[in-house]
Amino acid sequence: MEGHAPVLLEECLRLLSAEQGGDFLDATFGGGGHSRALLEAHPQVRLCALDRDPEAAERAKALAAEFGDRFEFYSANFSSLDTLTGTVKDRNFRGLLFDLGVSSFQLDQAERGFSFRMDAPLDMRMDTNSGMTAADFLETAREDELILAIREYGEEVRWKRVVRAIISARGTGRLQRTAVFAELIRDAIGPAAKHSRIHPATLSFQGVRIAVNNELLAITDALPVAFNKLEKGGVLAVISFHSLEDRIVKRFFNRMSGRPEHGRDSTSVMERNPVAELLTRKAIVPSPSEIARNPRSRSAKLRAIRKL
Ligand SMILES: C[S@@+](CC[C@H](N)C(=O)[O-])C[C@H]1O[C@@H](n2cnc3c(N)ncnc32)[C@H](O)[C@@H]1O
């Protein structure tokens, strides 16, 4: 199994500008690529890291051994940032980084059930200690929840066929394993699947993953708390991989930096008194050479604000 290549690493380091050291927080430790780079590049940096995946906690032990009390790891969902105890509660940070979505460790390990390319139980939970597996979600979700997952989160244009196929497969065992579920989607989409550049199950798998892990709610809840935990002059940077995620980040950053919201003509308090400076007018995206080296980076978008 290969590791996870940190995305937009140089760009993140530049935006977080940690040269003078201080306290930083990596809200999505994953394989620790961004955490390690910050700790190695800047000896005065102290870093707290979080991840909801118990396997990330295992990987974090190597950094704890290497960097001693400069590094601290929390097994937690970043949506509960405001309830964490210890260092995270006591400190404000010079920089916080969110690198959203799943890691290559999660995608490439068949038994995690994220990939339709490897047969395994349909799990897809980032936190394997809690919550409902994807199989249980598909067996029990209401129709409107399935539509939200497949049409909104997955952006699957043939969502009606997929949702209908899921409902009629309930109780037959066809919603239990990745490979059979991928076949079910391919059959539901029918001949149109032949002309697609991507595997016909790609979008539905993405949608189910986002639903099972409540990914959009977690980021919506976490951004204001993260902003509160910034020191004055500190930077909040977010890498997203999905247009709905990016929209949440963009709107929050625009609001904090006093940019008028699209379609609204009255001036809000925040527009008159911005509390942040937008550091990325347009999202930063990976260079062609990064995409060539790491195709999984292709949909990444990096945005950042500085607290005033
Ligand atoms: C794209 S990876 C991060 C990779 C990391 N920056 C690196 O360079 O190795 C995203 C990580 O965030 C974690 N994650 C996603 N949503 C989370 C949440 N709500 N709370 C905590 N961790 C989360 C996932 O478990 C995954 O390990």
**Residue 150 domain-assigned?**
yes
How high is the pLDDT of residue 273? 86
Which secondary-structure segment (H or E) carries 96?
Answer: strand 93-99
Query: Distance (Å, rounded) from C-alpha 158 to C-alpha 258?
Result: 38
**Residue 3 domain-assigned?**
no
Query: Could you report the average pLDDT of every consecutive run of 10 residues in the chain (308 residues)?
Result: 87 96 97 98 97 97 97 96 88 97 94 95 97 98 98 96 98 97 95 78 97 97 97 98 96 93 63 90 97 96 98
Q: Return phi, psi of residue 185, to 5°.
A: -70, -45
Residue whose CA lies nearest to ligand 1 atom number 20: 77
Q: Return phi, psi of residue 274, to 5°.
A: -60, 145
**The last residue of a domain, from among 212, 233, 267:** 212
* SS percent in the chain: helix, strand, coil, step 5: 50, 15, 35
CA–centroid distance, 263 to ligand 1, in Å, is: 33
Ligand 1: list residues with CB < 6 Å.
4, 6, 28, 30-34, 50-53, 56, 77-79, 99, 101-103, 126, 218
What is the number of residues in the chain? 308
**Residue 95 domain-assigned?**
yes
Give the atom of ligand 1 at the shortest distance from the alpha carbon of 97.
6
How high is the pLDDT of residue 263? 57
How high is the pLDDT of residue 192? 73
For residues 135 and 203, state if they share a domain: yes
**The last residue of a domain, from among 171, 188, 212:** 212
Give the atom of ligand 1 at the shortest distance from the alpha carbon of 53.
25
How high is the pLDDT of residue 224? 97
How high is the pLDDT of residue 152? 97
CA–centroid distance, 32 to ligand 1, in Å, is: 9
Which range of residues forms the domain containing residue 159? 128-212
The pTM assigned to this predicted structure is 0.95
Please report, in angstroms and rounded to a whole number, the separation of the first and last CA atoms in the chain.
43
How high is the pLDDT of residue 139? 98
How high is the pLDDT of residue 1? 43
CATH number of the CATH domain containing 293: 3.40.50.150
**The last residue of a domain, from among 166, 184, 212:** 212
**Residue 116 domain-assigned?**
no
**Residue 174 domain-assigned?**
yes
Q: How many domains does the chain have?
A: 2
How high is the pLDDT of residue 262? 66
CB-based contact 211:133 (threshold 8 Å) = no
CB-based contact 96:304 (threshold 8 Å) = no
